[in-house]
Amino acid sequence: MKRTIIFIFAMVMFASVSFADGVPTKNNTNATKTIAAPSFDDDNFLLPDGYFNINYNLGWSVGQMNSYINTNSYRGFSIDGRKFINDNFTVGGYMSWTGFYEKFERKTYQVDESTTVTGVGTNTYYNFNIGMNVHYYPLKNGVIRPYIGVNLGPTWQTLSTQLGRFYIEDRSWQFMVAPELGVFIPFGAGSDIGINTGVRYNLVSFKNTTFGFDHGITYMQWFVGVTMEY
């Protein structure tokens, strides 16, 4: 139940940031004041209120995660909404899902001096994240808008290891920090739709010696998707 409440809260927060419309902003208040003689010397005139993004994520493990799963993750997506709080900064919310999976060939494991086990094993990792994001845009008036930012928030994750018929699993809430570097490329100078792409580093605070993690789960992601200005 607690999870559901957190989740709904995040969705509401996320939706309100993404689709907020009725609130007066710097842009439209300026516009009403100068309605008789539109002034274009205001740098902010053409700036969007914010962005809404939807991305496909391709992941690969780094650090200790490498020894747990060493294959690419082809399953991942994220959506996020951002709103400008001044000329260069946005704040918003995000949501993402990632799945890693590796199947190991049949092989023999020496459990201890006296015991061996031979079998096919698999490791899986799934997480679902919700949280806040902050981004900085160094180029104020460029058509292409590079940015640097960070996503912060709780993550619900599942790790599992299977060998033969035996299966162990760990599910828990953790905290995730994911700094990212990306760029918005609009489909033409006047378009409010474009491509969003970049790389993201994900760090999940997690310690579990059974699964071989003592300083967090780490993976990189290349993200690419559609961005919409609003």
CB of 79 to other proteins, least distance (A): 7
In whole angstroms, give the CA distance from residue 96 to residue 43: 34
Between 56 and 89, CB nearer to other proteins: 56
The verdict on 222 binding other proteins (CB under 8 A) reads no
Q: Which stretch binds other proteins (CB under 8 A): 34-42, 132-140, 152-160, 183-191?
A: 152-160
Instruction: Give long-range contacts, CB 8 A cutoff, 24+ apart: 22-30.
Output: 25/49
The verdict on 175 binding other proteins (CB under 8 A) reads no
The verdict on 31 binding other proteins (CB under 8 A) reads no
Kindly identify the residues of this chain, within the stretch 66-85, that bind other proteins according to CB under 8 A. Answer: 74-75, 77, 79
CB of 116 to other proteins, least distance (A): 4
Q: Residues in the site for other proteins, rule: CB under 8 A?
A: 3-4, 6-7, 19, 21, 52, 54-56, 74-75, 77, 79, 97, 99, 101, 103, 106, 108, 113-120, 122, 126-128, 156-158, 163-167, 192, 225-226, 228-230
